[in-house]
Amino acid sequence: MTEATGTREATVRVWRGEDRASGGFAEYTVSVDPGMVVLDVVFRVQATAAPDLAVRWNCKAGKCGSCSAEVNGHPRLMCMTRLSSLPEGEPITVAPMATFPLVRDLVTDVSFNYEKAKTVPAFRPAPPGPDGKRRMYQQEVERVQEFHKCIECFLCQNVCHVIRDHEENKQAFSGPRFFVRLAALEMHPLDTNDRIDLIRAKHGLGFCNITKCCTEVCPEDIHITDNAIIPLKERVVTEFYDPLAWAKRRIFGPR
Amino acid sequence: MNAEQREYDVVVVGAGGAGIRAAIEAKAQGARTALVCKSLFGKAHTVMAEGGIAAALRNVWKEDGWDVHFRDTMRGGKLVSSWRMAQIHAQEAPDRVLELEEWGALFDRTPDGLILQRDFGGHRYARLAHVGDRTGLEMIRTLQNRAVEVGIDVLMECSIQRLLTDDGRVSGCVGYWRQSGRVVVLRAKAVVLATGGVGKCWRITSNSWEYTGDGMAMALEAGADLIDMEFVQFHPTGMVWPASVRGILVTEGVRGDGGTLRNSKGERFMFRYIPDFFRAETADTEAEADAWYEDKTKRRTPDLLPRDEVARAINAEVKAGRGSPHGGVFLDIATRRPAEYIRARLPSMYHQFKELADIDITKEPMEVGPTLHYIMGGVRVDPDTTASTVPGLFAAGEVAAGLHGANRLGGNSLSDLLVFGRRAGLYAAEHAARERAPRVDPAQVDEAARRMAAPLERGGEGEEPYALHSELQDTMHELVGIIRTQSELDEAVRRLGSLRERSAGVAAKGGARFNPGWNLALDLRSMLTVAEAVTRSAALRKESRGGHTRDDFPKADPEWAKVNVVTRLRDGRLELATEPLPELPEDLRALVLAEAQPPPRQEQHPEMESTAPAGMAGVRP
């Protein structure tokens, strides 16, 4: 146990307001105990100074992906950011995710993601084997299980500069979360749906220039760029820009 | 009344496993269906389930079967479960798991490509379909994607506050949008409650802020019965340190995969706490216990006794001064399994301890202690249809009672959600198809709207919601915990009464837009109602059974095995009574009561080769 014991005071600057133009940071000083995370500090502020401070959270254990925010400028889950990982004695800054419209204080309107989810073509399984059972092997499911670890915290969406800095791209670009989801479907051992054209045309995979910002912030350590986005880009290239594949399709028809 | 109104056939309140599964089924039956979540979609407590889904798939042990699962459930529930629910649950769980696979779920596999199953407390065979230790996430995301695919109307961040009734039948519900604070009325021919449990009434809990007993309180208010409210489960292994994460769940899968509990002297103390009821099926030497993981002719390790037994044992060790430095006991898997195996089987436990406690569980033991996890009691339902005693009102999942009796086995919750979630959606849609258009009584809506607005109208002038909640949590933790006694329960009833009086004047600062203080002020009402139901039910049941242990009545009393404690709301007051349990049919009784475990079954499918994975296969007797 590396942490010092004993309660101390901490200063936290929390973004307050109902719109980005008129809101701003409010400073609070609260007592903090060893082992606390940033979300605990937010609770202390609620309980002692600002009962109406808006914050989203559920599990407080890094499993539900609700409490995403920007802590000292870094996109983090508040429940998994220990105070001991932040510089002691300096104020902690907590701001809402920048990419999504503000609802209030630390809460943003993430409906963009739920709308995009509706555009993903569903899983379509191949028929079961002759014994009526579906067989898949651990090795082949493991690759996809990595993508299923996604807790939909939307931090990857938040840091993706394609939409963070360009509101106009939101229409044509689904963002890393959905490349992970599409990769999971495309690589599912039993799936039979073909989404490659959609991935290119509707989800805007081409916008991504693999800067890996999404991978860096993923609290589940999903290798979003290397394992999801790049393989999808390769599939798109093979399908649409490979002259051999193109000729094959011309002769034998689409796959 | 000029609130926003929407009309549906079936409204499902709550979007965890049971709620989503219910909505999918109602929609499949052709009902116009709404699914209401208090949080964002996909964040409900199901996401935190770790260990797995119990279902006798017979992929690892073909000796398993619905009858063995049924017996385990009934015995784990200390004989007061609804036998019919336990039967349906055991029979239908395998199909519900396979259905998830049909919808894209990816469970861990056996070497020959089928769904792998793991050992868990109280289960005779390795039975839990799982994905490492994040099974709940896989389940909720699979259901969520399916719900999106079939086009269910999802109402996110909407908190339902009251059920509407018309001439004794359900006609919808009313609540508010958390983002705007505006009132919304949902007219419906049928309502399915899938609102989960009551954990936030206690101080140390694995539950999130949402678990405030809303569904149970609304059901009472609409005239429905609650049963078994005294049966509350403390999960034996929650984190105990650091203080700020106290209560966060440590999956039973740690023990299922070979971990063992030790006290400060290093003793595997569970061998001293084997109750007579489970003696015949529990190993009494360390050698037999350790051999059981691979050889199911051996008896099960006491580390995997049902949760109520393990929680009491930990409690007793700590009280006897043999606890760990932070008031728990040690859970050791580091010395018993290779690091690589631990990281592969328990990745999120590894991550959780590393990030939150600076503990490497592949090198050091964890410190764990009981945490309020689950309530077995809830809305009394028909075992086949999940219908409550109020026409048009259905309930499934943790909010419903019956399946788990006095104590739930690990892994039986996720299967419960699927089996009875589906049935709730099915029968709610059937009910809706027979009903005329619902009539909403404006007076009921106005009354609910006034109630919701009241804390805001008081502004800052009144009782503070966080302080009241904190006092409630202390009351329940100190006086209605693992071990209970009459004088403490009486004191709890008194304190709850005074909290209720004070809560009538609760005041919320700020506006209606995403205001957690105001939301909490409203949730306090249901928390106080269910807390009183639990406390008074506990005071009434004068024996110890499962998740209800009385210091002053330490033994189980066979007379109490014949009744449920029923809670009703009449003229604004809770009334309690005991009513007889449904009689267990003779053939099932024999199965449940046989002291020894049932003999391994004859092979039902002679073509099926042994599918036990290498290193986990048992030698068939």
Give B510-550 pLDDT, tens digit per residue: 999 999 999 999 999 999 999 999 999 999 999 999 999 99
pLDDT at B2: 78
Mean pLDDT of B317-328: 96
Residue A141 is encoded by which pair of tokens? Answer: 């499911």
Query: Which of the two residues, B182 and A196, has the higher pLDDT score?
Result: B182
Q: Do B356 and A82 touch (CB under 8 A)?
A: yes
Question: pTM here?
Answer: 0.94
| Contact residues, B window 8-47, toward A, CB-based 8 Å cutoff | 39-45, 47
Q: Give pLDDT tens digits for B244-256.
A: 899 999 999 999 9
Q: Give pLDDT tens digits for A115-162.
A: 999 999 999 999 999 999 999 999 999 999 999 999 999 999 999 999
Mean pLDDT of B49-78: 96
The superfamily in CATH containing domain A111-252 is: Alpha-helical ferredoxin (1.10.1060.10)
Mean pLDDT of B391-420: 98
**B285 confidence band (pLDDT: 50, 70, 90):** very high
Residue environment code for B479-508, b if the CB has 16+ CB neighbours within 10 A, otherwise e: bbbbebbeebbebbbebbeebbebbeebbb
Report the mean per-residue pLDDT for chain B.
94
pLDDT at A240: 79
Q: Which residue, among B98, B62, B68, has the nearest Cα to B86 in the 3D structure?
A: B68
Chain B residues touching A104 at Cβ < 8 A: 513-514
CA B567 to chain centre: 19
- The domains located in chain B, with CATH, are 235-372 (3.90.700.10), 445-569 (1.20.58.100)
Q: Give pLDDT tens digits for B133-143.
A: 999 999 999 99
Catalytic residue among B255, B299, B525, B536: B255
Query: Which of the two residues, B492 and B438, has the higher pLDDT score?
Result: B492
Distances (CA, A) of B47 to A58, B141, B236, B499, B571: 10, 8, 20, 32, 38
**Any CB–CB contact under 8 A between B348 and chain A?**
yes
Q: Is the per-residue pLDDT at A250 higher than 80?
A: no
Q: Which residue, among B99, B348, B108, has the nearest Cα to A142 in the 3D structure?
A: B108
pLDDT at A245: 74
**Any CB–CB contact under 8 A between B211 and chain A?**
no
pLDDT at B597: 61
In this prediction the ipTM stands at 0.94
Long-range contacts of B296-301 (CB under 8 A, 24+ apart): B296/B61, B296/B63, B296/B124, B296/B125, B296/B600, B296/B618, B297/B618, B297/B619, B297/B621, B300/B124, B301/B255, B301/B260, B301/B270
CB nearest to B514's CB, from A104, A151, A191? A104
pLDDT at B617: 32
B75 as an active site residue: the answer is: no
Lowest mean pLDDT across A170-179, B120-129, B604-613: B604-613
**φ/ψ bin of B275: left (φ > 0), alpha (ψ from -120 to 50), beta (otherwise):** beta
Contact between residue A87 and residue B497 where contact means Cβ atoms under 8 Å apart: no
B300 as an active site residue: the answer is: no
Catalytic residue among B235, B373, B423, B548: B235
Residue B175's beta-bridge partner residues? B160, B184
CB nearest to A55's CB, from B44, B45, B516? B516
Residue A103's beta-bridge partner residues? none
The amino acid at B186:
L
pLDDT at B595: 67
Lowest mean pLDDT across A200-204, A230-234, B410-414: A200-204
CB nearest to A58's CB, from B43, B465, B470? B43
Considering only alpha carbons, which residue of chain A is nearest residue B48? Answer: A63
pLDDT at A1: 38
Q: Which residues contact A19 (CB under 8 A, 6 or more apart)?
A: A102
**B52 confidence band (pLDDT: 50, 70, 90):** very high
Mean pLDDT of B333-346: 96
pLDDT at A247: 78
Q: Which residues contact B203 (CB under 8 A, 6 or more apart)?
A: B473, B474, B476, B477
**Any CB–CB contact under 8 A between B451 and chain A?**
no
d(CA B51, CA B120): 8
pLDDT at A5: 63
Question: Is B616 in a helix, a strand, or coil?
Answer: coil
Q: Is the per-residue pLDDT at B156 higher than 50?
A: yes
| Contact residues, B window 589-608, toward A, CB-based 8 Å cutoff | none
Share of chain B above pLDDT 70, in %: 95
DSSP track, A160-217: -HHHHS-GGGTTT---HHHHHHHHHHHT-TTB----HHHHHHTS-GGG-----HHHHH
**B94 confidence band (pLDDT: 50, 70, 90):** very high
Residue A203 is encoded by which pair of tokens? Answer: 């989800």
Q: Is the per-residue pLDDT at B165 higher than 80?
A: yes
Q: Which residue, among A102, A206, A98, A111, has the nearest Cα to A152 in the 3D structure?
A: A111
Q: List chain A domain ranges.
A: 8-108, 111-252
pLDDT at B603: 43
**B460 confidence band (pLDDT: 50, 70, 90):** confident
Q: Is the per-residue pLDDT at B614 higher than 60?
A: no
d(CA A108, CA B503): 30
Q: Is the per-residue pLDDT at A2 higher than 50?
A: no
Chain A residues touching B131 at Cβ < 8 A: 145, 148
User: Quick one: CATH architecture of A8-108?
Assistant: Roll (3.10)
pLDDT at B292: 94
d(CA B427, CA B423): 6
